[in-house]
């Protein structure tokens, strides 16, 4: 009887410490310092951000199939008649997108399909494309149009809620 009481007390003490540890971890996650949007490429140079959804690009874009080169000379390289939805982000969704790009997330598993159906396109004040990020939510992989973006996402899943909030329905 004494041993069982002792073990219960020890277990209770350990559970208190483990709960505190979990609370401390949650606080650490909340304290992640994001870079300033107005100082961070491509957001700092962007006048407009557009979300696109389209049919699996590998089915119809035979020239650039399985390529991350979708922008050249500041224009989209692919046939935009396959684009099903285009949404220009408002200020709130732009901030949500920024947080999605820069909030660390746990690494997630991905498949090897890369059948892109979505893109985030950044335009400057001259309506020229300065950056694009193409996404396959099916395999959780994204590809950048260039290497100017020094931050990389650990999970494209963070972008999914932004697309949904923007009204994108084609997934």
Q: Are residues 58 and 113 in the same domain?
A: yes
Residue in 163, 114, 119 with CA at minimum distance from that of residue 140: 114
Q: What is the pLDDT of residues 16-53, one digit of tens each?
A: 443 334 333 333 445 668 889 999 999 999 999 999 99
Q: Do 119 and 133 touch, CB atoms closer than 8 A?
A: yes
d(CA 49, CA 60): 24
- 83: β partners: 54
* Domains identified in the chain, total number: 2
- 170 assigned to some structural domain: no
Section 102-118 average pLDDT: 76
State the pTM of this model: 0.76
Q: Do 70 and 134 touch, CB atoms closer than 8 A?
A: yes
Q: Which domain holds residue 8?
A: 1-31
Q: Which one has a higher pLDDT value, 77 or 150?
A: 77
Only one residue has tokens 């939805």, namely 85
């Amino acid at each position: 009887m004494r041993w069982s009481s002792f073990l219960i007390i020890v277990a209770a003490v350990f559970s208190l410490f483990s709960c505190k540890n979990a609370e401390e971890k949650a606080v650490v996650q909340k304290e992640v310092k994001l870079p300033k949007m107005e100082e961070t490429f491509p957001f700092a140079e962007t006048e407009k951000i557009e979300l696109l959804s389209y049919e699996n690009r590998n089915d119809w874009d035979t020239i650039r199939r399985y390529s991350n080169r979708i922008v050249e000379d500041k224009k989209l390289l692919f046939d935009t008649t396959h684009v099903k939805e285009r949404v220009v982000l408002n200020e709130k969704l732009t901030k949500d997108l920024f947080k999605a790009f820069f909030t660390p997330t746990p690494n997630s598993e991905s498949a090897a399909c890369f059948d892109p159906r979505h893109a985030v396109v950044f335009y400057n004040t001259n309506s020229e494309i300065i950056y694009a990020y193409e996404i396959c939510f099916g395999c959780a992989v994204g590809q950048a149009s260039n290497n100017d973006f020094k931050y990389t996402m650990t999970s494209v899943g963070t972008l999914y809620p932004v697309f949904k909030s923007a009204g994108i329905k084609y997934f």
